[in-house]
Chains A and B, each alone.
Chain A
Amino acid sequence: AQTVTQSQPEMSVQEAETVTLSCTYDTSESDYYLFWYKQPPSRQMILVIRQEAYKQQNATENRFSVNFQKAAKSFSLKISDSQLGDAAMYFCAYSPPQGAQKLVFGQGTRLTINP
Protein backbone atom coordinates (compact mmCIF):
# COMPACT_ATOMS: atom_id res chain seq x y z
CA ALA A 1 0.00 0.00 0.00
CA GLN A 2 1.09 3.50 -0.72
CA THR A 3 2.08 5.73 2.18
CA VAL A 4 2.91 9.41 2.45
CA THR A 5 5.06 10.85 5.23
CA GLN A 6 5.46 14.47 6.26
CA SER A 7 8.13 14.54 8.93
CA GLN A 8 7.63 18.18 9.96
CA PRO A 9 4.46 18.60 12.07
CA GLU A 10 5.10 22.35 12.35
CA MET A 11 7.20 24.92 10.53
CA SER A 12 7.53 28.67 10.83
CA VAL A 13 9.06 31.30 8.59
CA GLN A 14 9.50 35.04 8.56
CA GLU A 15 7.33 36.97 6.16
CA ALA A 16 9.05 37.41 2.78
CA GLU A 17 11.45 34.52 3.44
CA THR A 18 11.53 31.12 1.75
CA VAL A 19 10.43 27.88 3.39
CA THR A 20 10.56 24.25 2.25
CA LEU A 21 8.12 21.59 3.41
CA SER A 22 9.21 17.97 3.14
CA CYS A 23 7.30 14.96 1.89
CA THR A 24 8.32 11.39 1.16
CA TYR A 25 6.18 8.61 -0.18
CA ASP A 26 6.33 4.92 -0.82
CA THR A 27 4.93 3.18 -3.88
CA SER A 28 5.80 0.37 -6.25
CA GLU A 29 4.06 2.12 -9.15
CA SER A 30 6.01 3.90 -11.87
CA ASP A 31 3.20 6.23 -12.92
CA TYR A 32 1.35 8.35 -10.39
CA TYR A 33 0.53 11.90 -9.37
CA LEU A 34 1.58 13.97 -6.39
CA PHE A 35 -0.16 16.99 -4.92
CA TRP A 36 0.22 19.64 -2.30
CA TYR A 37 -3.03 20.86 -0.73
CA LYS A 38 -3.44 23.85 1.57
CA GLN A 39 -6.03 24.05 4.37
CA PRO A 40 -6.20 27.53 5.94
CA PRO A 41 -7.72 27.80 9.41
CA SER A 42 -11.49 27.26 9.23
CA ARG A 43 -11.40 27.39 5.45
CA GLN A 44 -11.68 24.90 2.63
CA MET A 45 -8.83 22.76 1.42
CA ILE A 46 -7.50 23.88 -1.95
CA LEU A 47 -4.97 22.48 -4.38
CA VAL A 48 -1.65 24.32 -4.44
CA ILE A 49 0.32 22.36 -7.01
CA ARG A 50 0.45 18.99 -8.77
CA GLN A 51 3.21 16.91 -10.32
CA GLU A 52 2.99 14.03 -12.80
CA ALA A 53 5.58 11.36 -12.03
CA TYR A 54 6.50 10.90 -15.68
CA LYS A 55 7.52 14.55 -16.01
CA GLN A 56 11.13 15.39 -15.26
CA GLN A 57 10.47 19.09 -14.91
CA ASN A 58 9.48 20.33 -11.48
CA ALA A 59 6.06 21.99 -11.31
CA THR A 60 5.81 25.69 -10.52
CA GLU A 61 2.82 27.88 -9.65
CA ASN A 62 3.80 31.49 -8.98
CA ARG A 63 5.57 31.51 -5.59
CA PHE A 64 5.11 27.77 -5.11
CA SER A 65 7.44 25.19 -6.60
CA VAL A 66 8.30 21.57 -5.96
CA ASN A 67 11.49 19.56 -5.88
CA PHE A 68 10.49 16.14 -7.20
CA GLN A 69 13.10 13.42 -6.76
CA LYS A 70 11.52 10.26 -8.16
CA ALA A 71 14.35 7.88 -7.28
CA ALA A 72 14.39 9.13 -3.72
CA LYS A 73 10.57 9.25 -3.60
CA SER A 74 10.74 12.79 -2.31
CA PHE A 75 8.38 15.65 -3.13
CA SER A 76 9.11 18.88 -1.25
CA LEU A 77 7.24 22.18 -1.56
CA LYS A 78 9.08 25.48 -1.65
CA ILE A 79 7.23 28.68 -0.86
CA SER A 80 9.10 31.82 -1.87
CA ASP A 81 8.43 35.32 -0.56
CA SER A 82 6.15 33.95 2.19
CA GLN A 83 3.01 35.94 2.88
CA LEU A 84 0.72 36.03 5.90
CA GLY A 85 -1.98 34.39 3.82
CA ASP A 86 0.23 31.33 3.36
CA ALA A 87 -0.36 30.31 6.98
CA ALA A 88 -2.19 26.99 6.86
CA MET A 89 -1.94 23.22 7.16
CA TYR A 90 -0.19 21.80 4.11
CA PHE A 91 -0.89 18.25 3.04
CA CYS A 92 1.13 16.18 0.63
CA ALA A 93 -0.93 13.59 -1.27
CA TYR A 94 -0.36 10.70 -3.67
CA SER A 95 -2.71 9.38 -6.34
CA PRO A 96 -2.54 6.52 -8.80
CA PRO A 97 -3.27 7.63 -12.35
CA GLN A 98 -6.40 5.73 -13.30
CA GLY A 99 -10.03 6.49 -12.71
CA ALA A 100 -11.38 8.25 -9.67
CA GLN A 101 -8.67 9.61 -7.49
CA LYS A 102 -7.84 7.67 -4.36
CA LEU A 103 -5.75 10.24 -2.64
CA VAL A 104 -3.42 9.10 0.13
CA PHE A 105 -2.56 12.02 2.38
CA GLY A 106 0.35 12.71 4.68
CA GLN A 107 -0.16 13.86 8.25
CA GLY A 108 0.21 17.52 7.36
CA THR A 109 2.57 20.35 8.26
CA ARG A 110 1.28 23.43 10.06
CA LEU A 111 2.99 26.50 8.61
CA THR A 112 3.14 29.71 10.62
CA ILE A 113 4.20 33.00 9.04
CA ASN A 114 5.84 35.45 11.42
CA PRO A 115 5.31 39.13 10.54
Chain B
Amino acid sequence: ETGVTQTPRHLVMGMTNKKSLKCEQHLGHNAMYWYKQSAKKPLELMFVYNFKEQTENNSVPSRFSPECPNSSHLFLHLHTLQPEDSALYLCASSQASRDSPYEQYFGPGTRLTVT
Protein backbone atom coordinates (compact mmCIF):
# COMPACT_ATOMS: atom_id res chain seq x y z
CA GLU B 1 0.00 0.00 0.00
CA THR B 2 1.21 3.47 -0.78
CA GLY B 3 0.06 6.96 0.10
CA VAL B 4 -3.07 7.39 2.19
CA THR B 5 -5.66 4.63 2.32
CA GLN B 6 -9.16 4.71 3.77
CA THR B 7 -11.60 1.95 4.63
CA PRO B 8 -14.36 1.34 3.99
CA ARG B 9 -14.84 3.22 0.73
CA HIS B 10 -18.62 3.18 1.10
CA LEU B 11 -20.72 2.92 4.25
CA VAL B 12 -24.46 2.95 4.81
CA MET B 13 -25.58 3.12 8.41
CA GLY B 14 -28.72 3.74 10.38
CA MET B 15 -29.00 6.54 12.87
CA THR B 16 -28.65 4.19 15.82
CA ASN B 17 -25.61 2.31 14.52
CA LYS B 18 -22.02 2.62 15.65
CA LYS B 19 -19.32 2.38 13.01
CA SER B 20 -15.71 3.47 12.52
CA LEU B 21 -13.79 4.90 9.59
CA LYS B 22 -10.14 3.99 9.26
CA CYS B 23 -7.29 5.90 7.70
CA GLU B 24 -3.69 4.78 7.28
CA GLN B 25 -0.78 6.73 5.85
CA HIS B 26 2.37 5.07 4.54
CA LEU B 27 4.33 8.28 4.03
CA GLY B 28 6.06 8.75 7.39
CA HIS B 29 4.13 11.95 8.08
CA ASN B 30 3.54 13.38 11.55
CA ALA B 31 0.19 15.11 11.05
CA MET B 32 -3.19 13.66 10.10
CA TYR B 33 -6.54 15.26 9.37
CA TRP B 34 -10.23 14.49 8.97
CA TYR B 35 -12.31 16.56 6.55
CA LYS B 36 -16.00 16.46 5.68
CA GLN B 37 -16.94 17.11 2.05
CA SER B 38 -20.64 17.79 1.45
CA ALA B 39 -22.26 18.61 -1.85
CA LYS B 40 -22.01 22.28 -2.79
CA LYS B 41 -20.10 23.18 0.39
CA PRO B 42 -16.40 23.80 0.95
CA LEU B 43 -14.35 21.08 2.56
CA GLU B 44 -14.68 21.39 6.31
CA LEU B 45 -11.72 20.60 8.52
CA MET B 46 -12.94 18.45 11.43
CA PHE B 47 -9.89 17.31 13.37
CA VAL B 48 -6.12 17.71 13.26
CA TYR B 49 -3.61 15.43 14.95
CA ASN B 50 0.00 16.50 15.25
CA PHE B 51 2.40 13.88 16.62
CA LYS B 52 -0.65 11.87 17.76
CA GLU B 53 -2.03 14.78 19.78
CA GLN B 54 -5.24 16.45 18.79
CA THR B 55 -4.48 20.07 18.02
CA GLU B 56 -7.72 21.07 16.38
CA ASN B 57 -11.36 20.25 16.93
CA ASN B 58 -13.38 22.43 14.66
CA SER B 59 -16.58 22.51 16.74
CA VAL B 60 -17.49 19.02 15.63
CA PRO B 61 -20.50 17.37 17.33
CA SER B 62 -19.65 14.73 19.89
CA ARG B 63 -21.27 12.01 17.78
CA PHE B 64 -17.97 12.10 15.87
CA SER B 65 -15.08 10.81 17.96
CA PRO B 66 -11.54 10.70 16.54
CA GLU B 67 -8.75 8.40 17.66
CA CYS B 68 -5.09 8.51 16.69
CA PRO B 69 -3.25 5.54 18.26
CA ASN B 70 -0.01 6.28 16.37
CA SER B 71 1.25 8.63 13.71
CA SER B 72 0.24 6.25 10.90
CA HIS B 73 -3.35 5.49 11.85
CA LEU B 74 -6.40 7.65 12.34
CA PHE B 75 -9.94 6.57 13.13
CA LEU B 76 -13.26 8.35 13.17
CA HIS B 77 -15.81 6.67 15.40
CA LEU B 78 -19.42 7.38 14.53
CA HIS B 79 -22.52 6.95 16.67
CA THR B 80 -26.11 8.16 16.55
CA LEU B 81 -25.52 10.11 13.38
CA GLN B 82 -28.06 12.28 11.59
CA PRO B 83 -29.02 12.21 7.90
CA GLU B 84 -27.23 15.55 7.40
CA ASP B 85 -23.99 13.80 8.33
CA SER B 86 -24.10 11.97 5.00
CA ALA B 87 -21.02 13.13 3.11
CA LEU B 88 -17.62 12.15 1.79
CA TYR B 89 -15.14 11.93 4.66
CA LEU B 90 -11.58 12.56 3.63
CA CYS B 91 -8.44 11.75 5.54
CA ALA B 92 -5.17 13.52 4.82
CA SER B 93 -1.62 13.54 6.14
CA SER B 94 1.36 15.86 5.94
CA GLN B 95 4.77 16.50 7.40
CA ALA B 96 4.04 19.45 9.66
CA SER B 97 6.77 22.04 10.18
CA ARG B 98 7.00 25.27 12.15
CA ASP B 99 8.60 27.00 9.21
CA SER B 100 6.32 26.12 6.36
CA PRO B 101 3.34 23.96 5.65
CA TYR B 102 3.93 20.88 3.61
CA GLU B 103 1.64 19.44 1.00
CA GLN B 104 -1.29 17.46 2.34
CA TYR B 105 -1.82 14.05 0.83
CA PHE B 106 -5.42 12.93 0.68
CA GLY B 107 -7.01 9.51 0.81
CA PRO B 108 -9.80 8.45 -1.56
CA GLY B 109 -12.47 9.11 1.05
CA THR B 110 -15.33 7.16 2.61
CA ARG B 111 -18.75 7.88 1.15
CA LEU B 112 -21.08 7.79 4.16
CA THR B 113 -24.85 7.57 3.87
CA VAL B 114 -26.96 7.84 7.02
CA THR B 115 -30.47 6.44 6.67
Interface residues of A (CB under 8 A from B): 4, 33, 35, 37, 43-47, 50, 52, 91, 95-108
Number of B positions contacting A (CB below 8 A):
28
Residues of chain B lying within 8 A (CB to CB) of residue A100: 31, 33, 48, 50, 55-56, 94, 96, 101
- Say how far A1's CB is from chain B's closest CB, in angstroms: 11
Residues of chain A lying within 8 A (CB to CB) of residue B98: 98-99
Residues of chain B lying within 8 A (CB to CB) of residue A43: 108
Which residue of the partner chain, among A91, A101, A106, contacts B101 with CB atoms under 8 Å? A101
Interface centre among A95, A100, A101 (most CB of B within 10 A): A100
A108 touches B108 (CB 8 A): no
B50 touches A107 (CB 8 A): no
Residues of chain B lying within 8 A (CB to CB) of residue A99: 50, 55, 96-98
B48 touches A107 (CB 8 A): no
Which residue of the partner chain, among A33, A44, A96, A107, contacts B106 with CB atoms under 8 Å? A44
Which residue of the partner chain, among B43, B50, B90, B100, contacts A97 with CB atoms under 8 Å? B100
